[in-house]
Amino acid sequence: MFHFSRVHGTFNPPPLDLSPLDGPTLSPKPSWHYLEFIFNRKLSFHNHINFYANKAILMIKCMKILDNSTRGLNPCQKWLLYRYCAMQITFYSFQLWHYNKAPLSYLLRVMNKMQKRATLWIVGGFKTASSMDIKTIASLIPINLHLQKIGGRSQLRAHSLPPNHILYSLMSLCYKSPLPQHTLSLNSLTRQQHGLIKGHLVDMDNHFNKIVLSFDSINPELFPSHRIIDTFSNHFSFQPLSKVVNCNIAS
């Protein structure tokens, strides 16, 4: 049994007594593990970030054992290990908690601590060094900017989905999908309700609407007598210059 709540302050739901039905007393859990996702009662994902950030720190500590080998690790190899091993663990399922208008102050603080420990290991610096200085030396961008980059890429990745994908029935797309619109789709919401909704689906829908049509080289507007310069010829004026004057100016 699990409860979700958005109330401010501590939320302690009472246990469910099933003794009248000859059953046990069920006590709701403070967190819920499902498909390697960790949910808490208020969906703040603090437990989720703490678990994967500590797991990445543990991996960084284990990577230090490689320094005891015959040749050791150079900073470039340490950078590759951190980028392609530790960061992949930290950002696992980041779409659950990284979206527009989401409270990220605590989550970013935890991940910044993790990245600082990694940068100190990469460059071999001291703990008293400035975070921005060692990140610059280690060629690592801040966590918030990296999240914006991978978040935008994950939103654009939805363009590669087939037209009959279930996500299209929930989004307000500029083009029609063969699937019927869901009763809870974004098209059925008012503008005020749409502004109050937070989530990765809303960001994906906004990113879809920002995409413009690609350049078409065989479009009819590019043929003679159909071009813009032909249709609106009175809006263009040409002032030819002599080549001799241009040569004199260049000399």
Query: Quick one: 147 and 171 in the same domain?
Result: no
Look at residue 204 and tell me if it is in a domain: yes
> Is there a contact between 41 and 5 (Cβ–Cβ < 8 Å)?
yes
Query: Quick one: 151 and 62 in the same domain?
Result: yes
Look at residue 93 and tell me if it is in a domain: yes
Q: Which of 133-147, 177-191, 234-248 has the highest mean pLDDT?
A: 133-147
DSSP letter for each residue of 177-239? -SSPPPTTSGGGS-HHHHHH--SHHHHHHHHHHHPPPPP-TT-GGGSTTTSHHHHTGGG----
In the predicted model, is pLDDT for residue 215 greater than 60? no
> Which is more confident, 205 or 38?
38
Write out the residue range of the structural domain in which residue 184 sits: 162-210
Amino acid present at 3: H
Output the pLDDT for position 134: 74
Output the pLDDT for position 249: 38
Look at residue 244 and tell me if it is in a domain: yes
Query: Quick one: 172 and 83 in the same domain?
Result: no
**Distance (Å, rounded) from C-alpha 94 to C-alpha 102?**
12
Query: Quick one: 154 and 54 in the same domain?
Result: yes
Query: Quick one: 62 and 110 in the same domain?
Result: yes
In the predicted model, is pLDDT for residue 118 greater than 80? yes
> Mean pLDDT throughout 18-26?
77
Output the pLDDT for position 250: 39
Domain boundary among the residues 158, 179, 201 is at 158
Look at residue 215 and tell me if it is in a domain: no
Look at residue 206 and tell me if it is in a domain: yes
DSSP code at position 17:
E
In the predicted model, is pLDDT for residue 211 greater than 60? no
Query: Quick one: 55 and 121 in the same domain?
Result: yes
Look at residue 77 and tell me if it is in a domain: yes
In the predicted model, is pLDDT for residue 1 greater than 70? no
Query: Quick one: 110 and 195 in the same domain?
Result: no
- Count of domains observed in the chain: 3
Output the pLDDT for position 111: 87
Look at residue 23 and tell me if it is in a domain: no
Query: Quick one: 112 and 77 in the same domain?
Result: yes
What is the model's pTM? 0.63
Domain boundary among the residues 135, 158, 181 is at 158
Look at residue 133 and tell me if it is in a domain: yes
